[in-house]
Amino acid sequence: MARANWLLWRREKKGKVPYQADEPRRRAKSTDPATWASFDATRAAYKPQRDAGVGFALDGDGLAVIDIDGDTREQAIDLLHDTGCRYIEASPSGNGLHGWGLFDGELPRKQGIHDGISVEIYNSARYMSVTGNVINAGRFKELHSLHELSASLKRATATQSTQETQETQEAQETQVRGGVVPIGDEALKRFLPPTVGTRNKYLFALARHLKAQVPDASRADLRGIIKDWHRLALPTIGTQDFTESWGDFIRGWDAVRCPEGELLAELLKGVDDDLLPDGVPDDYGPKSLRLVKICQRLQHHAGNEPFFISARTTGDLLGIHYTNAANMLRALMADEVIELIQRGTRKDGQASQYRLVAGAAH
């Protein structure tokens, strides 16, 4: 974000307290632009031993955030997708979601419950923590259903906590092990298997996340993280021997071909300007043509190996629902633009593998 709406924040007895990047000893205000700074200045001022993170002040100038508290399930992510969010990241606790997008207008309700999911919506007079713990890294899009979501919110009960209450009570998640890997117990909870038999799936998801965030992490750094993960997951997986989890993680780490979040966004930067390979049908629409170019980039990145992409990731990249994205991938296979090498499995949590057929794949 190029806007100079950035600030620091720290955990104090009063909660998440904002501070100025230009004068870190002085508090910032979410309603006072004079206390904000550019992202570069805020990043330079940030000190992990002092600050819990950075935040962005919403000033009613066309940006909005949907804050989902205490829920990172697929249903919660689908709710953000259906509202129009294409950029989604985990909250500082690792137990919630922040979906960002574009919105102008008044909202009937700012907080409440939608289908059992705790939702808060902010577009002014509020700052939001920004973690960089990216789940989907699409471009900001118009939140076409935000007004309808706001109107549908039902009053929360007294026992349902807000983000401010929960995140004030939770310990800071941004721990740096060996000065390299920023992930702690709260962030790891996002990758804990909910049932027996899903260990490989969640270890692979963790491998994809870490491969994007810290691709140069040492084996020692990774081993420490997986030891923490194994300790937290032990009540569910029932696997006493740590080496089984460590071995499964390394297998997933070595198999990752489709990078997560920011790394994928960097890999696909400028993809719309690429030339199409030969052999692409001339009746494809703009989204189908963009998908072909994405596949071409991923194939180039994978070299002679197949590339990985899921229907959900495809939908995020194209701004469509993942079921429509799955149909589009099938169409590309039917037209022999790509070929399916191995279908992904829910058990292992891996995306399907494809190879580019059209043109001269690199």
Verdict on whether the full-model pTM lies above 0.75? no
Within this chain, do residues 140 and 233 fall inside the same structural domain, yes or no? no
Question: Which residue shows structure tokens 């930067």?
Answer: 269
Within this chain, do residues 201 and 155 fall inside the same structural domain, yes or no? no
> Cα-Cα-Cα-Cα dihedral of 204, 207, 213, 218, to 10°?
180
Within this chain, do residues 118 and 181 fall inside the same structural domain, yes or no? no
Q: Which domain holds residue 37?
A: 6-169
Q: What pLDDT band is residue 8 in, cutting at 50, 70 and 90?
A: very high
Within this chain, do residues 314 and 220 fall inside the same structural domain, yes or no? no
Q: What pLDDT band is residue 161 in, cutting at 50, 70 and 90?
A: very low
Within this chain, do residues 146 and 211 fall inside the same structural domain, yes or no? no
Greater confidence (263 vs 290) lies with 290
Within this chain, do residues 203 and 93 fall inside the same structural domain, yes or no? no
Query: What pairing do the DSSP bridges indicate for beta strands 134-137 and 124-130?
Result: unpaired
Within this chain, do residues 233 and 265 fall inside the same structural domain, yes or no? no
How many residues can be counted in the chain?
362
pLDDT in tens, 246-269: 998 998 888 765 555 556 777 788
What span, in angstroms and rounded, lies between the C-alpha atoms of 224 and 184? 11
What span, in angstroms and rounded, lies between the C-alpha atoms of 174 and 190? 14
Looking at residues 122-134, what average pLDDT do you find? 90
Q: What pLDDT band is residue 214 in, cutting at 50, 70 and 90?
A: low
Within this chain, do residues 332 and 194 fall inside the same structural domain, yes or no? no
What span, in angstroms and rounded, lies between the C-alpha atoms of 221 and 138? 29
Total tally of structural domains belonging to the chain:
3
Within this chain, do residues 189 and 151 fall inside the same structural domain, yes or no? no
Within this chain, do residues 154 and 12 fall inside the same structural domain, yes or no? yes
pLDDT in tens, 17-42: 999 999 999 999 999 999 999 999 99
Within this chain, do residues 156 and 29 fall inside the same structural domain, yes or no? yes
Q: What is the structure's pLDDT at 27?
A: 93
**291 and 332 Cβ atoms separated by less than 8 Å:** yes
